[in-house]
Structure 1
Amino acid sequence: MDISWNDFEKIDMRVGTVIDVTPFPKAQKPSYQLTIDFGALGLKRSSAQITTLYTTDELIGKQVIAVVNFPIKQIANFFSECLVLGVYTDTSDVVLLQPQQKVINGSKIG
């Protein structure tokens, strides 16, 4: 299904830096709870199924790309405020999308 340019412009994708990571044992699949700094947009939290390829320590300080204008989604007892983007591998693991160079938190993807 094709989308229009206007549809694409509705998606607000931004760069943010992960500042806190905690395991999320109540999630159905192994996940982390991330707190991400989006600069002027503030802090947003997200649940991410990325435990196979990333440790909590290596995620701290990592810049990620996320959709920041989805409605809040409740996952168990957690409220996810953004969707961190990644690529599925052939084993269904997720490789995070990241800028090649450090950029200002909150920078818009387009």
Structure 2
Amino acid sequence: MITYHDFEKIDIRVGTILEIDEFPKAKNPSYQLTIDFGPLGIKRSSAQITKLYSLEELKGKQVIAVVNFPIKQIANFFSECLVLGIVGNDKTVTLLQPERKVENGQRIT
């Protein structure tokens, strides 16, 4: 079990996907995302969401991400945040999203 104080250390924010690119060098099929977190700035992330989402439908979509993990190198790419999703039994990832548009950078509590 973790305490509420432990949970408060995780900085989870909403952002809007600005750009999406294929990521052929990733071990598992992935996209490279560029996400606008408002006052926190622009961050990049690698996300294994290719099974359910096309490049075209992701642009402009809001996502929820952990923004205070250390940078993680994945192949030749540096991921600055962790986009959150639900992993199904078939390993497909469904993105977590706000149910309506909100301001980029707002904190999830």
- Normalising by the residue count of structure 1, what TM-score does the alignment of the two structures yield? 0.98
Which residue type is aligned with residue 78 of structure 2?
F
- Identity of paired residues, percent? 69
Which residue type is aligned with residue 95 of structure 2?
L
The whole-number CA distance in structure 2 between the counterparts of 1:56 and 1:107 is: 24
Classify the secondary structure of the residue corresponding to 2:18. Answer: strand
TM-superposition CA deviations, 1:21-78 (whole Å, max 9, x none)? 0000000000000000000000000000000000000000000000000000000000
TM-superposition CA deviations, 1:70-102 (whole Å, max 9, x none)? 000000000000000000112110000000010
Please name the residue that 1:103 is paired with.
102
Please name the residue that 1:3 is paired with.
2
The whole-number CA distance in structure 2 between the counterparts of 1:56 and 1:45 is: 15
Please name the residue that 1:40 is paired with.
39
The whole-number CA distance in structure 1 between the counterparts of 2:108 and 2:13 is: 6
Which residue type is aligned with residue 8 of structure 2?
E
Corresponding residue pairs, total: 109
Please name the residue that 2:83 is paired with.
84
Give me the CA root mean square deviation: 0.3
Classify the secondary structure of the residue corresponding to 2:21. Answer: strand
Q: Which runs of 5+ in 1 are unaligned?
A: none
Which residue type is aligned with residue 98 of structure 2?
P
Classify the secondary structure of the residue corresponding to 1:65. Answer: strand
Please name the residue that 1:31 is paired with.
30
